[in-house]
Chain A
């Protein structure tokens, strides 16, 4: 399992949408600017029942957090911008659901947990409030844990 390559594929998919000023593979340490941007972060990994007999397949989750300043103008465009960016990213991921062979599939429909998911919220960074949309991106990766007694 090549975690770095998986991050790279998700990053590339997001950048292909043309909706982001930047996409980075870590959580921001300072307040983002006025444009729509996204941070990719690992959320977790667990073994699942999609395995073979002698190795455990895992479900690996990445969260892509999209930011836009809460006080951007026009304010009516804040949520549509976030949703458009999130949906466009999902479309890119669904059209390459094996991420170029790095994963078995993106668990689009939640066969082994929650599906592709997009949740809006807020976050305060350096006293600035941002409207956010979290993309939950679950991926199935074959045979990561070989088994032997």
Chain B
């Protein structure tokens, strides 16, 4: 695939897709901190990976509608939230997710009448992780559904992490389960790959160990007439420790 622009992107915070209110994203960064362990025999810096970190900074427009940027971001929760950026919104689109503390909701009102708000997120516990969307942006199911699959090109053996934002639910509950397959035909629940049953909008992070076969899909079940959600799959290509 050729170089891409950043149009048609998405941003989720907690249980809300606030993409339409986000003017720009200044930073999506993460990874291990570089620890200097240079010794006197070296002519260049020696470094080892330290603590995992993550940052997402963005600028929001002011929108006071229910479920829009202002009510979501002005709450300034002390508890964790989940921030996810989607580079596009098709199955397989890159997606970065981060369990985060929201830092500030800082407004600037310019002389020209514009009003923007700067928001920062800093990771808590896991750092920022890049994966791929298992749904085409937000997916809305009206009944239990076997979703379309994502081809990971090969099986892997170092486990995976999954993130979900549930932004709408009509009904009693929805259970999202990750299934894998070797051939995109015979499917089985991924061991440990079921999100906890959700009875209201919210978010979750899930980690599984061991083998993750080539193809993945999200299956919804539960008692509902409508459930809207997005899932990010982070397949580990090497052993990870959190």
Chain B 1-34: CB-based contact to A (< 8 A → 1; otherwise 0): 0001011111100000001111101000000000
Within 8 A of B (CB), among A98-115: 105, 107-111
Chain A's nearest CB lies how many Å from the CB of B210? 35
Is B110 engaged at the interface, CB distance under 8 Å to the other chain?
yes
A50 pairs with B7, CB closer than 8 A: no
Contact between A53 and B113 (Cβ–Cβ < 8 Å)? no
Minimal Cβ-Cβ distance residue in B for A106? B113
Instruction: Give Cα distance in the complex from A110 to B113, angstroms.
Output: 9
How far, in whole Å, are A28 and B9 apart by their CA atoms in the complex?
44
Stretch at the interface among A9-17, A64-72, A141-149: A141-149
- Measured between C-beta atoms, what is the minimum distance from A53 to chain B in Å? 4
Chain B: which residue is nearest A145 at the CB level?
A: B7
Within 8 Å CB of B126, what residues of A? none
Indicate if B111 sits at the interface (CB-CB under 8 A): yes
* Cα(A71)–Cα(B226), bound, Å: 69
- The reply to whether A53 and B11 contact each other, CB–CB distance below 8 Å, is yes
- Given A143-B20, A147-B7, A149-B8: A54 in contact with B112 (beta carbons within 8 A): no
- With A49-B23, A52-B21 known as contacts, the answer to whether A111 contacts B8 (CB < 8 A) is no
Docked pose: A3 CA to B143 CA in angstroms: 39
Min CB distance A91 to B, Å, is 16
Chain A residues with CB below 8 A from B6, complex form: 53
Chain B residue with the shortest CB-CB distance to A148: B8
Residues of A within 8 A of B (CB): 49-56, 105, 107-111, 142-143, 147-149
Known: A53-B22, A111-B113, A148-B8. 11 other contacts (CB 8 A): A51-B23, A52-B20, A53-B6, A53-B19, A53-B25, A54-B7, A54-B20, A108-B113, A109-B112, A111-B110, A143-B20
